[in-house]
Homo-oligomer: A and B are copies of this chain.
Amino acid sequence: MTKLVRFSVSMEEKLVATFDRLARKRGYANRSEAIRDALRAQLVRQEWKEGEEVAGVITLLYEHGRAGLSKRLTEIQHHALRQVISTTHIHLDHENCLEFVAVKGRAERVQKLADSLISLKGVKHGELAATSTGKRLL
């Protein structure tokens, strides 16, 4: 399905040796896969910079006991139906919850949605983790 191409790269011997050592340490089976991953990671950062269609996850750490908070979180997510794919909820301890909201859409919209969730009172930490829809990576 996906067409593979093969090409050659020249590199300083020492650079290859250091890169191989690091790749092995992180669990890569071979050099090609480690190189492909390095390139794809760079492309994902670029997709986000350029405002392309992206995917990601919004991480929300909050206290479930806070009055009205989970209702508000749900409302905002419902108003962003086109961006929100799914939500996973985790009970960390008696007070703290972790919620992962999987999202997809234009980088700017997704960022705006993340801001509106993270800025709520009672949300103690939030972050938008960037990944890709994979369309331009394959």
User: Can you offer 22 A-B residue contacts whose CB atoms are under 8 A?
Assistant: A1-B95, A2-B13, A4-B12, A5-B11, A8-B8, A8-B9, A9-B9, A11-B39, A12-B36, A18-B137, A26-B115, A29-B121, A35-B38, A37-B118, A40-B125, A41-B42, A41-B125, A57-B57, A57-B100, A61-B131, A86-B88, A127-B130
The one of B11, B32, B55, B132 in contact with A36, judged by C-beta atoms closer than 8 angstroms, is B11
Cβ-based interface call for A67 (8 A): no
Task: Count this chain's copies in the assembly.
Answer: 4
CB <8 Å contact, A137 and B15: yes
Cβ-based interface call for A93 (8 A): yes
CA distance A34 to B93 in the complex (A): 25
A11 and B32 contact, Cβ closer than 8 Å, known pairs A55-B61, A125-B44: yes
